[in-house]
Amino acid sequence: MKRSPLVSSLVVLLLGIVSQVWCSDGILLNTQISYRSSGFPTSQAGDLISAQAEGFRTMGASPVHRLFLMAPRLWGSTSGAEHPRINRVPGTTTWFSGKLGTEAEVAYSPPGVSQPMPSMMGNTQTDASARMFRIGLTGSEGSLRYGVTFRHAGQGFLLAPDRASREIWSEWKTGSMTFRNAVGQTWNNVEGEATRSRLEQTYGRVGLFLNRPLWPELSVTYSRNSLNSVFEPIGAAPQRSSNHTIEGAVTLQRPGWDIGFASSYILMSDLLRGNTDSNIRSQTLSAILRPINTLTITPILTYRQEFQSWSGVRIDTPTASLALNYQQSSQLFFSAASHYSSSRSSDGLIRNENFKWRGAMDWSLYSSPEWVTKIGFEAGYNRVTNRVVRSADTEDISGLVRLGIVTR
């Protein structure tokens, strides 16, 4: 049954000093960037808590936004707590006996629940920035499927904000094997702020998938992408890189649980430093556990190792995260997520640790045939520890209370 917001009020309770860490490009949320004196920026810790809301698309905490080609149930899941906070208007239609279809969606994050990107000009959220527009065209002919997609989300949109993408893809299936390929482009800073740089990534990828009933799903993918920064304000380091990635993944799905393992190798060339190379190896173990119908537990373990050939430095980054969603009833929902990461370099110049925790509860206080009164509570904690430069340590605690009345 469709609901439209009638009244929405927001009370923000700041329990400590909120000092979030952002990249100048705005793509990597809450990600520490270490600028080595002899090298280019290196990502130290990805925000896997935010990644789980988008699906397992950034499990490796790569310095470049990567699109994983894993099993759909592992990277296509979305936290159930996010959907009630977004107003959606979807639409679909088909032609030629279903061989050609289009899908479009306009979504809007209501005031008080969107999360705008910080800017040097302050909070720049507008009504337009809280919107998301998506359109897709899909066709099929026998074993061949193909399509075109476009998505544009403003800074204030709740899921995957400040990001635009366009892609052309195709898929051919024969028996238990599926071949997929795609070319596309993605970028941030969609509103073109001159105070923030924009990262534009052009990519192409091809993958082979093997899926048989009761067997684990196997996949091997190769991708090549180029990264280029534009709109470079004063103080923002330019980025030009070309990357080759090969990845293998195995996923086993059962009624009560899913488990997956992915291993990837990345060869990254910095075009601003004479094509100097860095080798990145990453292994990720993830699972989705459903002990009961109302409870979902999602643990993720990742170990990432980067070797910079131009400096001889090795950077090790283990990470662990855990998310929990519990739907006690249609009136009460709980969610919690935690994330820990550590980065250490062989030369001792990088020794960082990051711990994050977030909890939320949505409760329908009163329900009638005409309207529903809801209250939501959120709390978060973030600590970044720099073992080399103690003055760079940060810690923040935040709390949020939402009260809303919606009509049925």
Q: What is the pLDDT of residue 13?
A: 31
Please indicate, yes or no, if residue 352 is contained in any of the structural domains: no
Which range of residues forms the domain containing residue 75? Answer: 4-344+372-379+393-407
Q: What is the pLDDT of residue 408?
A: 67
**pLDDT, tens digit, for every residue of 388-405?**
998 889 999 999 998 888
Average pLDDT over residues 57-86: 36
Please indicate, yes or no, if residue 310 is contained in any of the structural domains: yes
Please indicate, yes or no, if residue 10 is contained in any of the structural domains: yes
Inter-residue contact 131 to 108 (CB < 8 Å): yes
**pLDDT, tens digit, for every residue of 211-269?**
998 899 999 999 999 998 887 777 777 888 899 999 999 999 999 999 999 999 999 88
Inter-residue contact 290 to 296 (CB < 8 Å): yes
DSSP assignment of 336-384, as one string? EEEEEEEEEETTSS-EEEEEEEEEEEEEEEEE-SSEEEEEEEEEEEEEE
Please indicate, yes or no, if residue 384 is contained in any of the structural domains: no
Give dist(CA 270, CA 75) in Å, integer: 29
Residue 129 pLDDT grade (very low, low, confident, very high; cuts 50, 70, 90) = confident
Quote the number of domains for the chain. 1
Please indicate, yes or no, if residue 353 is contained in any of the structural domains: no
- Judged against a pLDDT cut of 70, whether residue 121 lies above it is answered with no
Please indicate, yes or no, if residue 186 is contained in any of the structural domains: yes
| DSSP character at residue 196 | S
Q: What is the CATH number of the domain that holds 129?
A: 2.40.160
Inter-residue contact 221 to 206 (CB < 8 Å): yes
DSSP assignment of 35-76, as one string? --TTS--EE----HHHHHHH-SS-TT--SS-------HHHHS
Residue 128 pLDDT grade (very low, low, confident, very high; cuts 50, 70, 90) = low
Please indicate, yes or no, if residue 385 is contained in any of the structural domains: no
DSSP assignment of 72-91, as one string? HHHHS---TTTGGGSEEEEE
Please indicate, yes or no, if residue 15 is contained in any of the structural domains: yes
- Judged against a pLDDT cut of 70, whether residue 63 lies above it is answered with no
**pLDDT, tens digit, for every residue of 350-379?**
999 999 999 999 888 888 888 888 888 999
